[in-house]
Structure 1
Amino acid sequence: MKFETLKSIILLILICFSLLLTVGLWNYQPITDEVGKENENLVEETTIGGEEVKMSSLIAPSQFVFHRNGNHYSFEDGKDREETYKIMKNWTLFNIHTVENRVVPEAARMMEVIFPTNIPAQAIKNIFSLGEQDFAPSSGEFKRIFFSINENGGVDVFFKPESEDAIAYGASLRSENIYQLEELIATTEGVNKQVMFTGDGDKRIFLPSNSVEVSWHILDTTTIPIVPLKNTLFEDPSIVKDIPAPRVEQRLTDSLSNLEVMEGGRRMVFSELLSKPSPQTAMSSYEVLEKSISFINAHQGWTDTFRIGELSTANTSITYHMYQKHLPVLASEGNIHTIMVDYQNGLEKRYARPLVRLEPSINKSEGPYSLSSGNKIIALINESRKYNIKLIEDIEIGYKLVKQSGGYGGYSLIPRWFILENGSWKEVEESFVHEGGMTGAMGTN
């Protein structure tokens, strides 16, 4: 064989080999492409389909009380309370200052705004417009705001704390907002006369003097997926394992944290098992409030209407209560009516929330409930051995969620009287009188 012919054959072989390598490269899909797709899905699945909200919508009054010449009035319908709060948030305050006198004002015309828990004074700027005043207090709190019309026609504003040790603040209301306040205090439509329960003499709890009629409702549920919560709560979701455990439907863990699904898949609790090394960090109530909102916003966790219910600086914890039909839900089977976040050293230590979203039922069932008058509730408290008057913090009408019978999956939303005693809401079972057909709708208690 001639040398030239041999070179031609070798060249042809090399060309064929090159073509085979080219075709192979074209058809090759590296494993990293699949990993990339998994990572993309991981990034996408970190929200649970709720909303992101601002602090001003989570801080809301539980009651407006209008004082006129020694008589007290409050709204019949919670919707009017919410509309009034929208009006109030557009008011402008000025001359905010600390005050020493903590005595409740005794003005002939006054509006009292009551919140369900102590609110940090730093949140005043999240509720009102402050004009050009730079207000950044380091401490202080309030549970009531008094708007008193003084003898000169101006309005004195007093932010009253529950604790005698907390810093209290006063302010004035801009003149352009005074007319709206006067109209609210004078209103006679849509309000009920109130009776004040003083308890041991230190309380100001207002209840309707006559019986109250509130509707019950049926609600359906939609399940909230657990995968986005796993992706957002664990530092590295790829190492999380599903380990069977007693008394829970599912337990996800990475050996440092647990995510447990319970109550038939209707509630979850995420908790840190080991404290991460970090310096001891004290948190103010405002920091707990602000940090918890950002934490829940990060995965769009506001799947129903929630508002602040309890805020504890001592325990660095916060609880948000669900609201339905403009009233708080204060009890539920499976405890699906609250979102709770506990902090330790500035980090989320425990996070508990419902895994269902409540929606109006296609059945559209509802009917009237007649609840006892405030006078009857006060008499019951005074006569009963069940309640310790010194421990009573509040008395309120709210809803109880009761699971529908027969595996339907929905809930009955039933109005009841509740008493807040030593930090816990307790249903006043003796107080309600049922009027209207609701046979079979309530499920089992």
Structure 2
Amino acid sequence: MVMNIELFKSILLALLVVLSGVLTWNVWSYQPDYVIIERTETVDISIAAEKDIQDLVKPNRILVHNGEEVYGTPSDIEINQLIDMMKGWTLFNVRNISSEVSEEEFKNLVHGPDRVEILFPTETPFETYREVLRFEDSNLPSATFDRIVVQLDEREGDTLNIYFVLYEDRIVHEAKVSDSVMVQFNREVIQPASQEFQRYFSYDAGGQRTLFLPSQSTNAIQYKYWMNFYDPGQFQDALFSDPSLVNRNPLGPNGNEEQYIDGSSLMKVDLVNRMLNYVNPSSETEIGAIPSDLIQKSRRFVNEHEGWTDDYRLFSINPEEQQITYRIHEQGHPVFNNEGIAQIDQEWGETRIYKYDRSFMGLDVRLPSQTETKALPTGDAVISNLEKQPNFDPALLEDVIIGYHMTRDIENSILYTLEPMWYYKYKGSWQQVPIEGGGNPVGLE
């Protein structure tokens, strides 16, 4: 009996050893069944490029008041060099001194001798330009300016005064900078101005505004470009929250228009003029915007689909209506077009885009063989032509600049000409300066 029990124990122990080995092997060799998870396909909504503030918010002219003479330039090269220099400055003690400046003092502060005016095409918020210039102050004024004035003859100890001016409203903010910056400023801006810039003359526009124009004829280059066309479907993916819900329908008798709609938003595409107009009616609002917020969200919105197809720059802003316009520039000059293809227009709701109007093409290949130099009239001739217009009121003349008129070639729809000509802003609208005997100017906005 004892033998049977011992035999049973031996057999049981052997079985346990074998079972343990089997279990160990299973543990070592076990491979779970993995469930293959398909990666959700992401839609690439990148169209062209992103932009920084310093690319979008730029001055459009420099005026150097050297004694009684005034020299100016709209040159991109000169403006970029100046701003790059000023990026190295540290500005401090920014304060509003508007109440301390009389009208006579204001004109002398801005246009007097021994100062440099840096002009912007529209009002620019301090908070926005903090991304370009270095401000020591942590809290900047919630204000805007449309020109910076460097006053060369006004020093206080070892500091120099810089003024940020909102011209029409006569608002002046003063800032300080170390006068050590003037060594380079004198060498690279003031001294070369009389040789490298054009001589300008002043024009008193109704007493409240002084404009400066070139005294001599200006040579400008006319360009021709092959255009690059972007698929409107890329904007569909960028603008609609769920592109799969969008219905695309042809419009017009010849199918020259298309309509994209998802039940709440609408995008119309003009295939002839290569324009698209997007609207989201649910975002409409009557609430105004803070200028810096409007610039920031408008830039971020286009950056999200990398929609900067050309050298677009901030050209006008209306915070009360939440409207903002970026315009193509060529060699530092704004480009105009009767159909609006040279600009990006945005109108915002409280938190979302309400309207978005733009072209879906861009300047692609410049044709060197098609470029030619054109001599534009002097500033005197421009003013003379304007003053001959019926009912012209100098007090309503806001600005005069050289720009480019963009037109499509009659025989080749992908070829566009950029023709230099004079433009003027009158009662808030930009128009071509009429040529002597050439009829009425063409309104553009």
Quote the Cα distance in structure 1 between the aligned partners of 2:123 and 2:238.
30
Give the share of equivalent positions with the same residue, in percent: 22
Which residue of 241, 244, 255 corresponds with 2:263? 255
Distance 1:322 1:432, change over 3 A: farther
User: What are the equivalent positions in structure 2 for 1:186-335 lying under 5 Å apart?
Assistant: 186-187=191-192, 188-246=194-252, 249-262=257-270, 264=272, 266-275=274-283, 281-329=287-335, 331-335=336-340
Question: What amino acid is the match of 2:151?
Answer: S
Whether the 8 Å contact between 2:273 and 2:339 is mirrored in structure 1 is no
**1:117 is the counterpart of 2:122:** yes
Quote the Cα distance in structure 2 between the aligned partners of 1:413 and 1:97.
43
Counterpart residue number, 1:415: 420
Distance 1:339 1:169, change over 3 A: same
**1:381 is the counterpart of 2:389:** no
Question: What amino acid is the match of 1:287?
Answer: D
The 3-state SS of whatever aligns with 2:306 is coil
Deviation at 1:245, TM superposition (A): 2.9
Q: Over residues 147-178 of structure 1, what are the superposed CA-to-partner deviations in whole Å (9 max), with x where a residue is unaligned?
A: 102354742111111353x8642101223321
Whether the 8 Å contact between 2:208 and 2:395 is mirrored in structure 1 is no
Count, aligned residues:
392
Question: What amino acid is the match of 1:313?
Answer: P
Whether the 8 Å contact between 2:121 and 2:315 is mirrored in structure 1 is yes
Deviation at 1:430, TM superposition (A): 0.2
RMSD of the alignment, in Å? 2.6
Whether the 8 Å contact between 2:116 and 2:149 is mirrored in structure 1 is yes
Quote the Cα distance in structure 1 between the aligned partners of 2:323 and 2:428.
13
Quote the Cα distance in structure 2 between the aligned partners of 1:345 and 1:300.
23
Distance 1:386 1:321, change over 3 A: farther
Quote the Cα distance in structure 1 between the aligned partners of 2:436 and 2:143.
37
Question: What amino acid is the match of 1:264?
Answer: V
Quote the Cα distance in structure 2 between the aligned partners of 1:361 and 1:117.
29
Deviation at 1:95, TM superposition (A): 1.6
Q: Given the two structures, how large is their TM-score scaled by the length of structure 2?
A: 0.82
Question: What amino acid is the match of 1:413?
Answer: L
The 3-state SS of whatever aligns with 1:336 is coil
Counterpart residue number, 2:373: 368
Counterpart residue number, 1:144: 147
Distance 1:44 1:397, change over 3 A: same
Counterpart residue number, 1:425: 430
Counterpart residue number, 1:79: 77
**1:404 is the counterpart of 2:409:** yes
Counterpart residue number, 2:55: 57
Deviation at 1:386, TM superposition (A): 6.2
Quote the Cα distance in structure 2 between the aligned partners of 1:272 and 1:384.
41
Counterpart residue number, 1:99: 97
User: What are the equivalent positions in structure 2 for 1:118-133 lying under 5 Å apart?
Assistant: 118-131=123-136, 133=137
Specify the structure having the higher radius of gyration (Cα): 2
Counterpart residue number, 1:357: 362
Q: Over residues 111-152 of structure 1, what are the superposed CA-to-partner deviations in whole Å (9 max), with x where a residue is unaligned?
A: 001110111222231221124x31333x21111111102354
The 3-state SS of whatever aligns with 2:369 is coil
Quote the Cα distance in structure 2 between the aligned partners of 1:213 and 1:291.
38
Q: Over residues 248-298 of structure 1, what are the superposed CA-to-partner deviations in whole Å (9 max), with x where a residue is unaligned?
A: 61110012111111151511111113347x9x7542111100110000000
Quote the Cα distance in structure 2 between the aligned partners of 1:63 and 1:361.
25
**1:174 is the counterpart of 2:187:** no
Whether the 8 Å contact between 2:326 and 2:343 is mirrored in structure 1 is yes
Whether the 8 Å contact between 2:115 and 2:153 is mirrored in structure 1 is no
Counterpart residue number, 1:339: 344
Distance 1:301 1:309, change over 3 A: same
Q: Over residues 22-56 of structure 1, what are the superposed CA-to-partner deviations in whole Å (9 max), with x where a residue is unaligned?
A: xxxx9xx99x96xx6xx51xx332111x2111112
The 3-state SS of whatever aligns with 2:119 is strand
Which residue of 119, 134, 137 corresponds with 2:138? 134
Question: What amino acid is the match of 2:147?
Answer: R
Q: Given the two structures, how large is their TM-score scaled by the length of structure 1?
A: 0.82
Counterpart residue number, 2:14: none
Question: What amino acid is the match of 1:65?
Answer: L
Counterpart residue number, 2:27: none
Quote the Cα distance in structure 2 between the aligned partners of 1:162 and 1:76.
19
Question: What amino acid is the match of 2:228?
Answer: T
The 3-state SS of whatever aligns with 2:435 is helix
Q: Structure 2, unaligned stretches of length 5 or more? A: 1-32, 439-445
Distance 1:244 1:306, change over 3 A: same
Q: Structure 1, unaligned stretches of length 5 or more? A: 1-25, 434-445
Whether the 8 Å contact between 2:250 and 2:258 is mirrored in structure 1 is yes
The 3-state SS of whatever aligns with 1:232 is helix
Deviation at 1:347, TM superposition (A): 1.9
Question: What amino acid is the match of 2:96?
Answer: T
Question: What amino acid is the match of 1:283?
Answer: A
Whether the 8 Å contact between 1:77 and 1:190 is mirrored in structure 2 is no
Whether the 8 Å contact between 2:283 and 2:351 is mirrored in structure 1 is no
Distance 1:70 1:181, change over 3 A: same
Counterpart residue number, 1:16: none
Quote the Cα distance in structure 1 between the aligned partners of 2:370 and 2:116.
36
Whether the 8 Å contact between 2:155 and 2:179 is mirrored in structure 1 is no
Counterpart residue number, 1:44: 43
Deviation at 1:379, TM superposition (A): 1.5
